[in-house]
């Protein structure tokens, strides 16, 4: 029996075959296509149903097949039409679900690589990763304690590490991925809560200073050593920085805080050193505030006293024998050495003879007529220039008379030194605020008479320039020697005899003035 209704290729077609009362009927898509009468029975109880093949008749079926049904009765045309209409309204949905198989283990470790940790609470991070299913949980355990959960923070896990003293701590971390795979990692953490020890190497001897002409500072070289805590070579973090500050006897800072990096000498000790600057020449006892900090921030502080002697001794040669220009026999030269700084012993005195020109009078002493003050003014204490005067430094100019009364000045009120003089060096006054003061001269006066004078080289101008004054500080002097620029005259004045003037002189030349 052949269908009279053509099939639709590459589309779904519903085919139904019925048989009853010797008649076969073929339905295509719910409608009767053809029928025929057959003789004999076609239903065999021993028959099998072969799907997709015809027991050797024709070639096997090529195409899709779905919803095959077999009924034990003949369906009516209406039932077949209803079946087709019902199934034709069916639609299929499908879904899939991916299943991931995770057999690899996660990785886990504490992120810190620091050789030492401080002895206080510290939040540490744990890095945990699983490339297949991801991390479900992370736990940690310190020494023999219990497993505790770590807190997730985006891609890391955090926990608070709470050490209870110096030493080694074993910290285990455990990561579990979403498939239940577990990895455990163990890591040793060293804890250091003890700072280094600052060892006092200053001693009781005075320390010298050196002058830096570039910065115009007086530098005190400081150095020391750092030792392990309690002098015990236990595992400890290394010193990383030393901070140094100096204060005077009134606890006032000198030049602020300076720092340096200590250098190792083997494992220990560590050596530190630096040059601490002073704006003025220092003298006396100071306090060195030292703070040593190690790699985890442990800090040790020590206040160390130090004696500083920045003032050199002053040597004076006094020859008490007969005056002569030639020494051709053994001669004893005597003199004094004065040290006004910290009381440090005089180590040595050296004397040298230098060739001098006939007209070189730089070392000429005053006539031995009972002088109570002799200032050669050859000193070069700094040297000081008008541009580089220090605001606080006190300069001292030596007195060769033996009275021990030097002339002093302070800061910007000091004249410039090391100028070319009439006899050797000289000092230069700026005509504004420069002056020298000699205290306690009157203690060496035997009566009511005195004489004073100096070599001077006055500058041209229009004022009265005071050269020498004798009297009490802050009141009208008892006597005064000045240069009047308007008339180019030297003037002497005292409270008893009044004013006396010299004849006119030319400025910018050397004159010996005496009163």
Burial 302-322 (b: 16+ CB within 10 A, else e): eebebbbbbbebbebeeeeee
In the chain, residues under CATH classification 2.60.40.10 are 107-192
Instruction: Look up tokens 């010797």; give the residue.
Output: 22
- Write out the chain's pLDDT in tens, 515 residues: 788 888 888 888 999 999 888 889 999 988 888 998 888 766 666 778 888 887 777 788 888 888 898 888 889 999 989 988 888 887 767 788 888 898 999 999 999 889 899 999 999 999 999 999 999 999 999 999 999 999 999 889 999 999 998 889 999 999 999 999 999 999 999 999 989 999 898 988 889 999 999 999 999 999 999 887 665 556 778 889 999 999 999 999 999 999 999 998 776 688 999 999 999 989 899 999 999 999 899 999 999 999 998 887 777 766 555 545 556 677 777 777 777 666 566 778 887 776 655 445 445 555 556 678 888 887 765 544 433 445 567 888 888 777 778 888 888 888 888 788 877 788 899 888 888 888 877 666 666 677 888 889 988 887 888 888 877 655 566 788 888 888 888 888 887 788 888 888 888 898 888 87
Q: How far apart are CA 186 and CA 172, in angstroms?
A: 4
- The answer to whether the beta carbons of residues 154 and 138 sit under 8 Å apart is no
CATH code for the structural domain at 197-309? 2.60.40.2550
Q: How far apart are CA 123 and CA 145, in angstroms?
A: 18
pLDDT given at position 234: 63
- The answer to whether the beta carbons of residues 213 and 390 sit under 8 Å apart is no
For the sheet containing 151-153, what is the strand order?
Answer: 107-110, 122-129, 156-161, 151-153
pLDDT tens profile 268-299: 688 999 999 999 989 899 999 999 999 899 99
Q: What are phi and psi of 61, to 5 degrees?
A: -70, 140
In the chain, residues under CATH classification 2.60.40.2550 are 197-309
pLDDT tens profile 364-393: 555 556 678 888 887 765 544 433 445 567
Taking alpha carbons only, the member of 470, 469, 465 closest to residue 489 is: 465
The fold of the 107-192 domain, in CATH, is Immunoglobulin-like (2.60.40)
pLDDT given at position 185: 96
Q: Is the pTM of this model over 0.75?
A: no
Share of the chain above pLDDT 70, in %: 84
Q: How far apart are CA 414 and CA 391, in angstroms?
A: 10
pLDDT given at position 497: 80
pLDDT tens profile 446-495: 666 778 888 899 888 878 888 888 776 555 667 888 888 888 888 888 87
């Amino acid at each position: 029996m052949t269908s009279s209704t053509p099939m639709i290729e590459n589309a779904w077609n519903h085919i139904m075959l019925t048989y009853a009362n010797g008649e076969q009927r073929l339905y295509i898509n719910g409608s009767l296509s053809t029928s025929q009468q057959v003789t004999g029975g076609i239903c065999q109880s021993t028959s099998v149903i072969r799907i997709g093949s015809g027991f050797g008749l024709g070639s096997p079926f090529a195409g899709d097949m779905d919803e095959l049904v077999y009924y034990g009765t003949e369906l009516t045309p209406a039932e077949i039409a209803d079946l087709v209409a019902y199934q034709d309204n069916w639609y299929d949905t499908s879904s899939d679900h991916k299943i991931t198989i995770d057999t690899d283990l996660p990785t886990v470790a504490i992120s810190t690589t620091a050789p030492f940790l401080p002895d206080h609470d510290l939040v540490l991070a744990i890095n945990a990763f699983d490339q297949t299913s991801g991390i479900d949980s992370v736990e940690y355990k310190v020494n023999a304690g219990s497993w505790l959960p770590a807190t997730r923070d985006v891609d890391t896990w955090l926990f608070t590490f709470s050490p209870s003293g110096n030493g080694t701590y074993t910290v285990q971390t455990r990561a579990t991925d979403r498939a239940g795979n577990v990895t455990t990692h163990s890591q040793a953490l060293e804890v250091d809560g003890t700072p280094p020890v600052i060892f006092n190497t200053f001693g009781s001897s005075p320390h010298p200073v050196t002058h830096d002409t570039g910065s115009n500072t007086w530098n005190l070289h400081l150095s020391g050593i750092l030792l392990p805590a309690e002098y015990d070579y236990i595992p400890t973090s290394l010193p990383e920085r030393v901070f140094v500050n100096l204060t005077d006897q009134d606890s006032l800072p000198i030049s602020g805080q300076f720092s340096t990096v200590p250098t190792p000498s083997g494992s220990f000790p560590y050596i530190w050193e630096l040059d601490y600057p002073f704006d003025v020449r220092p003298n006396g006892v100071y306090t060195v505030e030292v703070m040593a900090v190690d790699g985890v921030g442990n800090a040790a502080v020590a206040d160390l006293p130090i004696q500083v002697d920045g003032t050199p001794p002053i040597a004076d040669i006094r020859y008490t024998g007969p005056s002569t220009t030639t020494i051709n026999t053994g001669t004893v030269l005597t003199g004094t050495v004065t040290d006004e700084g910290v009381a440090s012993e005089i180590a040595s005195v050296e004397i040298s003879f230098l060739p001098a020109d006939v007209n070189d009078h730089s070392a000429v002493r005053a006539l031995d007529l009972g002088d109570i003050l002799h200032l050669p003014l050859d000193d070069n204490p700094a040297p000081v220039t008008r541009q580089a005067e220090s605001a606080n430094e006190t300069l001292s100019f030596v007195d060769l008379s033996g009275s021990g009364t030097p002339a002093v000045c302070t800061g910007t009120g000091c004249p410039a030194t090391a100028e070319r003089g009439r006899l050797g060096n000289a000092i230069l006054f700026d005509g504004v605020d420069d002056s020298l003061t000699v205290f306690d001269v009157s203690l060496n006066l035997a009566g009511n008479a005195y004489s004073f004078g100096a070599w001077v080289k006055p500058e041209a101008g229009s004022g009265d320039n005071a050269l020498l004054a004798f009297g009490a500080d802050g009141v009208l002097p008892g006597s005064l020697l000045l240069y009047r620029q308007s008339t180019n005259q030297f003037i002497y004045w005292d409270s008893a005899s009044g004013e006396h003037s010299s004849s006119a002189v030319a400025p910018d030349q050397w004159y010996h003035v005496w009163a």
